[in-house]
Structure 1
Amino acid sequence: MDLDALLHHYFGPAGPDPDDAEAFETGISRLRTDMGVERDSGRRFALWAVLHALGSATDPDDVFEDPEEREAARDFAWAADKAAGREP
């Protein structure tokens, strides 16, 4: 999955803009919907990771049935938060 293509698909050419609350929430809602119906675990994880980066990810326990995927999501979130200077 190409991040630029994903952001363009869900948020338009300008990308996610938290200052445009309506467009931002519409993009987040579309992302969540697609993640909810996605069957491929890798694509589902990628969509969840984008939501995490945008501060809108659902708890991994509520998203991933497979324990290994839940653990991978927790590890990803911890590492991403640490890299961004946020305390996990």
Structure 2
Amino acid sequence: MDFDDQLQRYFGTADLGAIQPEAMAAGIEHMRVDFGLEQDRGRRFALWAVLYMLGTHLDLDTAFEDEADRNSARDFMDMMDRVQGDGPT
């Protein structure tokens, strides 16, 4: 799943800055519904990751039944925290 494709699908544009608050809320709700219906582990993780990057992720214990998936999500969160931290050293 390509990030820009996901933005286009759920928000009608790949430009985050162009998304109006109402469209953001509607797109996030649509993503959450799709996340709940998705059976493919990889697609579920991709949806969760985009939700996380948008600041609206789901609780790991309820989002992922599998411990390996929860650990992958924690690793992703740690990686994103480092990227958003102090920047390059």
Q: Which runs of 4+ in 1 moved over 3 A?
A: 14-19
Q: Measure the CA separation in 1 of the matches of 2:69 and 2:18.
A: 29
AA in 1 matched with 2:37: V
Give percent identity, aligned residues only: 48
Is 1:3 the counterpart of 2:3? The answer is yes
TM-score with structure 2 setting the length: 0.87
Residues 16-47 of structure 1: CA deviation (Å, up to 9, x unaligned): 45872211100000011101110000000000
TM-score where L is the length of structure 1: 0.88
Distance 2:39 2:74 in 1: 20
Using a 3 Å threshold, how does the CA distance of structure 1 residues 75 and 14 change in structure 2: closer, same or farther? closer
Structural RMSD (CA): 1.8
Aligned to 1:40: 40
- The alignment covers a number of residue pairs equal to 86
The letter for the 2-side match of 1:32 is R
